[in-house]
Amino acid sequence: MAARLIKRIASTPFGARGYASGVKKVTLIPGDGIGPEISAAVQKIFTAANVPIEWEAVDVTPVRNPDGKFGIPQSAIDSVNRNKVGLKGPLMTPVGKGHRSLNLALRKEFNLYANVRPCRSLEGYKTLYDNVDVVTIRENTEGEYSGIEHEIVDGVVQSIKLITEEASNRVAEYAFKYAKDNNRKKVTVVHKANIMRMSDGLFLRCCREMAKKYPEIKFEEKYLDTVCLNMVQDPSKFDVLVMPNLYGDIMSDMCAGLVGGLGLTPSGNMGL
C-alpha cells in the first residue's frame, strides 16, 4: 500500500511544472518533534527514486535581531532565496506564550500567498468516501490567522481581520489559473460575506471579478457553513475551493480527514 500511496501522491497535479537537467539544490527545514525523523525518511525516498536533489539543511530556530525582536536566522532566509524551493517538516508553536508561529513567519518572509492542498481518495486506503478529489486554495498572508491582535485593557483582547484587494485578487487569480492548468472544471469561493460584509465582501467581489476572466471555468459562491455541510454529505460536488486564511486552515484539514488524515495529503505554500 505504501508504494501505491507514494505513487498516487507524486502524480497529484500541483500546477504547471518543468524540470531542468542536473542536480537541484533544495532547502531542507527538518522541523521539530517528529520533523527530523520524517524529513530523513523523505530524503531516503528521494534517494531511492534517483531524484537529483542536493539537500541544504538549515535551522530556523528564532534568533534575537539587533532590534530586540526574534526572527528567522538570516542564513535560513538566504538559503531559501537562493534555492527557490524548500521542504519543511512540522514546526511547533508555543501555545499562548513564547515566539510567534514560525510557519506564519516563513509565509510572510517569502510572501507565500497561496496554500494549496489536493485531497484525493487513495486506492487501497479505505475511508467513508471513495470519490474525493478536491483542492483547497487558501489565502496565506492575511485574515484572522495572521495573528494581528492586542490587548485593549485588562481582560479585553481584540483580533484584527485584515483583507486587502491586492492579496484577494492574487489568490483568486492563482485559483483560476490552477483550475485551468490542471483541467479542473469549477472554482468555489468560500466566504461569510453575509455577516462580515466588508472584509469577506471584498474577498468575494475580487473572486467574482476574476471569474469573468476565466469564462471556461464554472464559478460558484457558497457560505462556509454550507460548504462544510455539503462536503461531508457529498464531496463530489466540489472541485477547487478558494477562501480566506482561517477558513482555509479549517476546511483543508476537514477535507484531509475525508481521505484518511493530514499524513495522506500533500500541501505547498506558493509564492511569486
- DSSP sequence for 46-95: HHHTT--EEEEE-----EE-TTS-EE--HHHHHHHHHHS-EEE------S
**Domain range annotation of the chain:** 16-110, 111-272
Which pLDDT tens digit goes with each residue over 51-104?
999 999 998 887 777 877 777 888 988 999 999 999 988 877 655 455 567 777
Q: Considering only 104-108, 155-159, 224-228, which range has the smallest mean pLDDT?
A: 104-108
pLDDT of res. 116 = 97
CA nearest to 142, candidates 176, 116, 165, 158: 165
Question: What mean pLDDT do residues 222-226 have?
Answer: 98
Least confident of 45-49, 95-99, 109-113, 162-166: 95-99
Whether domain 111-272 has CATH 3.90.230.10: no
Residue 87 corresponds to which cell in the numbers above? 521542504
The Cα–Cα gap between 32 and 40 comes to: 13
Poorest-pLDDT segment among 36-45, 186-195, 246-255: 36-45
pLDDT of residue 91: 79
Of 13-27, 77-91, 108-122, 188-202, least confident by mean pLDDT is 13-27
- pLDDT above 90 covers a percentage of the chain that reads 60
Instruction: Give the separation between CA 107 and CA 27, rounded to whole angstroms.
Output: 15
Band the pLDDT of 240: cuts 50, 70, 90.
very high
- Reply yes or no on whether the pLDDT at 2 is more than 80: no
